[in-house]
Structure 1
Amino acid sequence: MSKSKKSEFNPDDFVVYPAHGVGKIVSIEEQEVAGLKLEMFVISFEKDKMTLRVPTARASEIGMRSLASPDLVEKALDTLKGKARVKRAMWSRRAQEYEQKINSGDLMSIAEVVRDLHRNDDQREQSYSERQLYEAALDRLTREVAAVSGLEEGDAQKRVDDVLTSRAA
């Protein structure tokens, strides 16, 4: 390749893709698209049984990023301890905001969604759409906690749950 620009992402790196969460770069390959040779990251999202090809040149502008630092993970977990901030807007507007936060790929925003939608057993029921958004945010957060901490997903889930339940006390 003529451009020997060192990429910030390499095969076997875990990365966060905004719309899909944590994935692993399997390889970097060349692909011909409309007569142009493009270098692509091949990213596997094992849990979703999905593979994504992202042009290396556009990865950053798309918002693909490296895993959060352990410090940021701690900050995100601290966010979970905070008091839920629920705006008085209509649910459809709030749901839209939550979805944007989840798909931003920003760990702090995702933690805020988990915090704001978390329910203790004694609290009112969650609607189906509330539950869906909560689980999507929780899943993203847990996967990144697992990848950063080198934990199995179940252990990361327990860690997140422990923080959420400690908040209730």
Structure 2
Amino acid sequence: MFQVGDKIVYPMHGAGIIEAIEEKEILGEKQHYYLINMPMGNVHIMIPMEKVMNLGIREIVDRDTMDDVLHTFHDHKSDSSVAWNQRYRKNMDKLKTGDIYKGAEVIRDLLRINKDRVLGAGEKKMLDNAMQMFISELVSVKKITEEQATDLVNQFLHKDA
């Protein structure tokens, strides 16, 4: 399991740091909880230790993996012929896995579609959330500011544009 100080990613929420492990009694039941600080948004959450694996929480990736992920913004072709509601469900499933490569695919594909036509409100919000989750991990991995991370992502996104 995780230790205090570990940098983790909570799918659909982004990167955080385990600040403490505490036993708490909630509704008459004692359990051990991870207390996690999510710097993006300055949110603190408690997650029961026994549920961590089911939630897809993982350690942040290493620098080499992050560099590889940044290059996936140019990989593969996107299929924009799929109906938006099917694409939305498929992309939501990708984001829920917490897999950084799948998250980068969602960002890449939605940005490519957005070049051809305006995204609907749901997909626009999904793109914004996916970008925030990605940037939060990039900040932790590269030890840079949120602004620097945003600039770095934009450099890769617009490299061959």
TM-score (norm 1): 0.85
Counterparts of 1:84 and 1:167 in 2: how far apart (Å)?
14
Counterparts of 1:122 and 1:79 in 2: how far apart (Å)?
18
CA RMSD for the aligned pairs?
2.0
Structure 2 residue matching 1:167: 3-state secondary structure: coil
Is 1:130 aligned to 2:123, yes or no?
yes
Q: CA deviation at 1:19?
A: 2.7
Counterparts of 1:148 and 1:49 in 2: how far apart (Å)?
18
- Counting matched residue pairs gives 161
- In the alignment, structure 1 segments of 5+ residues that lack a partner are 1-6
Q: CA deviation at 1:46?
A: 3.1
Q: CA deviation at 1:69?
A: 1.6
1:95 aligned to which of 88, 98, 106: 88
2:18 aligned to which of 15, 25, 36: 25
Extract structure 1 runs of 4+ deviating beyond 6 A.
Answer: none
Query: What is the 5 A alignment of 1:1-169?
Result: 7=1, 9-119=2-112, 123-168=116-161
Native 8 Å contact 1:102 1:136 kept in 2: no
Name whichever of 40-49 and 109-118 sits farther off: 40-49
Counterparts in 2 of 1:16 and 1:109: CA distance versus 1, 3 Å: same
Native 8 Å contact 1:84 1:115 kept in 2: no
Structure 1 residue matching 2:61: 3-state secondary structure: coil
Counterparts of 1:85 and 1:122 in 2: how far apart (Å)?
12
| Identity of matched residues, % | 27
- Matched to 1:97, the amino acid is K
